[in-house]
Amino acid sequence: MQVLRFHSAAMLLAGLLLACGVHADEDVIRLATTTSTENSGLLTELLPPFEAATGKRVLVIAVGTGKALRMGRDGDADVLLVHAPSAEEKFVAEGHGVNRRAVMYNDYIIVGPRSDPAGVRGGIDARVALAKIALRKQAFISRGDDSGTHKKERLLWRAAGVDPVGNWYREAGQGMGKVLQVADELDAYTLTDRGTWIAYHGRLRLEILVEGDRLMHNPYSAIAVNPDRFRDVNYPGAMSLIAWMTSVPGQAVIADFRIRGEQLFRPLAVR
């Protein structure tokens, strides 16, 4: 089965699918997810075995965690794969989602130019690094898109006691892969998940400068959209996909997924 993927036109295409009644098809599962799972290439490995075994088709809408959660609240997705724990907990507490399950994790890192004008190289405290970048007004590219990465970045700025404003701080409103490319072109710093970094860094001049902070832990969870809130969502399909992602075989696919020998994600459901 072919996995359909949506990039810049994701929301438009999703709307067209809804208008055509695709969401009523029990053999179609609408997965709203982060750009990191798409950009890294993980879904290309994770979904085909599920589709082959079940005969179901997964429509992947990669829009970032904030938009994915909004799609879930509007009933425009059947299942979410996201990485913003506080927002996920609120989503479930408000009754929009059910059966939240831990799937995998990686971590965030701060990358930047080899010259490192802010002098953050080798640090393990993200707060100290961000404070130095702000103090020296060095270019920083933010996702600026309410994604899980953007939410984490804002949390880290608050923890650093910094309000990032000024010409040095730029919001791209783009996915992680594009932000890495922009940061590379501008010799700027940025926060990225390690999975997308591993997938892209062979094309970039940027380097890892800060890593290892416990505040940069990055867990991913799957959540089914509440069928009591939206009766036409494909709840059985959503639960079958969650069951696969958290099963021993599904977790093995996640654990075995590598680029140039580097592991991008680590299983959480089965270890």
DSSP annotation string for 23-70: GG-TTEEEEEE-HHHHHTSHHHHHHHHHHHHH--EEEEEE--HHHHHH
- The verdict on 42 and 124 lying in the same domain is no
- The verdict on 168 and 80 lying in the same domain is no
**Rounded mean pLDDT, 53-76:** 95
How far, in Å, CA of 23 to CA of 9, rounded?
18
- pTM, whole model, 2 decimals? 0.85
- The verdict on 45 and 97 lying in the same domain is yes
Centroid of chain to Cα 207:
21
What is the number of domains present in the chain? 2
- The verdict on 199 and 133 lying in the same domain is yes
Among residues 75, 41, 191, which one has the least CA distance to residue 129?
Answer: 191
Domain harbouring 254, CATH code: 3.40.190.10
Are the beta carbons of 45 and 253 closer than 8 angstroms? yes
Q: Which of 32-36, 184-188, 242-246 has the lowest average pLDDT?
A: 32-36
Q: Which of 15-24, 186-195, 215-224, 226-235 has the lowest average pLDDT?
A: 15-24
- The verdict on 14 and 45 lying in the same domain is yes
Domain that holds residue 145: 107-216
pLDDT tens readout for residues 110-167: 999 999 999 999 999 999 999 999 999 999 999 999 999 999 999 999 999 999 999 9
* Listed residues 216, 244, 259: the one ending a domain: 216
- The verdict on 83 and 111 lying in the same domain is no
- The verdict on 89 and 182 lying in the same domain is no
- The verdict on 116 and 205 lying in the same domain is yes
- The verdict on 90 and 187 lying in the same domain is no
- The verdict on 11 and 34 lying in the same domain is yes
- The verdict on 210 and 223 lying in the same domain is no
Whether the predicted pLDDT of 24 surpasses 70: no
- The verdict on 98 and 130 lying in the same domain is no
